């Protein structure tokens, strides 16, 4: 089934919760499925833009993916319009934002089909993610049509292979109080490698060590599962309209 253009905005006030890691992973998953990907990097530190440059140098990039560094909602609108004007094709658009969402983000977020936030099971992340949720609720009051505010999902991030009792409690609390998708992002060296080297599938294909390949494949499968759950959330929303 054709999926068309899907726009996901990754937003959380909490710095370091894994926004850019999630963007790199989702971009990798969509590229691995043969789709085109556009990432809007709205972070002044150009974390995703810089990542693409390094990945290209290392030969771990794919021409189906593109990163655009901009803070300008109008530029994002114009570029999105250009994508929508192309003949129908599968295209994942990701918007990476910096910690500390502000009103300036309103116009960016309203162009997305889904808002997502990674949340680490720990008190600091929890409260700031709640604030992000409330910011989204307040956004409904600032727009003409509250239904234009995208759906919201959280993904639990950096879960240990053997979670402590406290961590398990934190996970439970997130599931009970936030719209969390079932598949978490595990704490993985592979994500650090992606950060330093490029797209998951491309690194995997240029790696000769079997064990590292296996780790990268597991991470890619995790990201594919997460992307599918986000896509389900977007479908539910369209059907409800």
Ligand X SMILES: Nc1ncnc2c1ncn2[C@@H]1O[C@H](COP(=O)(O)OP(=O)(O)OP(=O)(O)O)[C@@H](O)[C@H]1O
> For residues 124 and 161, is the Cβ–Cβ distance under 8 A?
no
CB of 71 to Mg ion, least distance (A): 14
> At closest approach, how far in Å is the CB of 145 from ligand X?
30
Exactly one of 12, 18, 20, 25 binds Mg ion (CB under 5 A); that residue is: 20
User: Is there a contact between 9 and 114 (Cβ–Cβ < 8 Å)?
Assistant: yes
For 57, the enclosing helix (H) or strand (E) is: helix 47-58
Does position 19 interact with Mg ion (CB under 5 A)? The reply is yes
Nearer to ligand X, 20 or 62 (CB): 20
Q: Is 80 in the site for ligand X (CB under 6 A)?
A: no
- How far apart (Å, rounded) are the C-alpha atoms in residues 9 and 19? 10
Report helix, strand or coil for 240: helix
**Among positions 15, 59, 146, 179, the unique one binding ligand X when judged by CB under 6 A:** 15
Contact 9, 96 (CB under 8 A): no
Q: By CB under 6 A, what part of segment 163-202 binds ligand X?
A: 185, 187-188, 191-192, 195
CB of 42 or CB of 111, closer to ligand X? 42
Which class for 217: exposed (0-12), middle (13-18), buried (19 or more C-beta within 10 A)? middle
The span from the CA of 159 to the CA of 187, in Å, is 5
158 binds ligand X (CB under 6 A): yes
DSSP label at 104? G
> Between 104 and 143, whose beta carbon lies closer to ligand X?
104
- Whichever of 19 and 69 has its CB closer to Mg ion, that residue is 19
For ligand X, the closer of residues 25 and 73 by Cβ is 25
Kindly report the backbone phi and psi dihedral angles of residue 166, in degrees, each rounded to the nearest multiple of 5, phi listed first: -60, -45
CA nearest 215: which of 194, 241, 197? 194
Q: Does 21 bind ligand X (CB under 6 A)?
A: yes
Q: 8, 18, 52, 64: which one contacts ligand X (CB under 6 A)? A: 18
Dihedral of CA 39/238/88/109: which sign? negative
Nearest approach, Cβ of 2 to ligand X (angstroms)? 30
- 43 lines the binding site for ligand X (CB under 6 A): yes
Question: What are the phi and psi torsion angles at 64 (to 5°)?
Answer: -75, -15
Min. distance of Cβ 99 from ligand X in angstroms? Answer: 3
Q: List residues binding Mg ion (CB under 5 A).
A: 19-20, 47
Q: Return residues touching ligand X (CB under 6 A).
A: 15-21, 43, 98-99, 157-158, 185, 187-188, 191-192, 195
């Amino acid at each position: 089934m054709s999926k068309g253009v899907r726009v996901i905005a990754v937003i959380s006030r909490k710095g370091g919760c894994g926004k850019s890691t999630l963007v790199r992973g989702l971009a990798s998953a969509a590229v691995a499925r043969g789709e085109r990907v556009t990432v809007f990097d709205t972070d002044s530190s150009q974390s995703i833009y810089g990542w693409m440059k390094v990945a290209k140098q290392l030969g771990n990039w794919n021409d189906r993916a593109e990163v655009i560094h901009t803070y300008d909602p109008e530029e994002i609108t114009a570029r999105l319009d250009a994508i929508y004007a192309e003949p129908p094709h599968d295209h994942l658009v990701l918007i990476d934002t910096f910690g500390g969402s502000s009103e300036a983000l309103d116009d960016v977020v309203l162009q997305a089909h889904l808002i997502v936030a990674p949340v680490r099971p720990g008190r600091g992340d929890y409260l700031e993610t709640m604030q992000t949720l409330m910011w989204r609720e307040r956004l409904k009051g600032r727009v003409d049509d509250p239904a234009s505010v995208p759906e919201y999902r959280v993904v639990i991030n950096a879960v240990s292979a053997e979670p402590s009792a406290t961590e398990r409690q934190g996970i439970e609390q997130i599931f009970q109080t936030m719209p969390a998708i079932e598949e978490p992002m595990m704490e993985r060296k592979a994500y650090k490698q992606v950060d330093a080297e490029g797209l998951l599938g491309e690194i995997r294909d240029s790696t000769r060590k079997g064990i590292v390949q296996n780790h990268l494949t597991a991470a890619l499968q995790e990201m594919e599962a997460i992307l599918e759950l986000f896509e389900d959330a977007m479908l539910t929303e369209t059907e409800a309209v």
